[in-house]
Structure formats: C-alpha cells, structure tokens
Amino acid sequence: MLYHALDIFFVIFHTLLILFNLFGWVWRKTRIANLVTLLLTGSSWLILGLIVGTLGYCPLTDWHFRILEKLGKNDLPYSYVKYLADRITGLNFDPVIIDKVTLYAFLAALAVSIIINIRDLYIRRVKSINLKGR
C-alpha cells in the first residue's frame, strides 16, 4: 500500500515539476523559482550524471523507479518522460525521439527563462533609476 501511494506521489510531483520547468517562466511571480529548478535539473543531468556515470541522471526518477521495482515493474525505460508518456497514453514511444524532445524542450525553456529573467532584472533596474531621479 505504501509503495502504491509513493508511486502516485512521484507521478504527480514529478509531472508537476516537469510542467513547472517547461512553463514556470510564464508567471512573473514564479520566474526566478523556474530558473532555479531548471538550473537544478540541468545540474542533475550533467554533474550528478557524471558522478553516477549516466548523463541525464535524475534522483527523482531513480527513487521512483526503485519504488516501481518493489511493485514488480521491470523493464523500465531509461527516461522518465518516456515512462510517463507510455504510462499516460498506453502507447510505446520511441525513446530516441522522447530524449530529443525532452532535451530540446528543456533547452528552449531554459533559454526563455534566462532571457525573461534578464529582461525583468533590466526593467527593475530602469524603474529604480527613474524613481531615484525624481
């Protein structure tokens, strides 16, 4: 029972984190948090990935897949996004395509988040300078 609850928790939490990474830059109040989660995700994929020996490593995926193995699920894919897409749709997506889409979507979200956060910082500084000049 505990493992089933943890499975549901990870599906919900990890999915929400993925969606926040992709779209958290849309709302002004979440832009900095979005940039932080994107940088943490990228650092996990690169730095932790190099330490663990697997580029793209995500501790959430690791923990969730361990729970799924306790529930008797084997032959789990390398990618959590592939697992999630397959689980939600019942289809069997090509892992290479999923990995490419995941990487490109991440890089696009990161680029947009950086640009918008820099723009917001510039606007705040201009407004601050204008207020001081009055």
Give the pLDDT of residue 134: 61
Give the pLDDT of residue 129: 79
Token pair 């606007």 is found at: 123
Instruction: Look at residues 125, 115, 117, 11 and name the one whose alpha carbon lies nearest to residue 68.
Output: 11
Q: Quick check: pTM over 0.95?
A: no
Give the pLDDT of residue 71: 97
Q: Both tokens of residue 30?
A: 């979440």
Give the pLDDT of residue 133: 63
Mean pLDDT by 10 residues, the chain (134 residues): 96 97 98 98 96 95 97 94 96 97 98 98 86 68
Complete DSSP assignment for 66-114:
HHHHHTT--S--S-HHHHHHHHHHS----HHHHHHHHHHHHHHHHHHHH
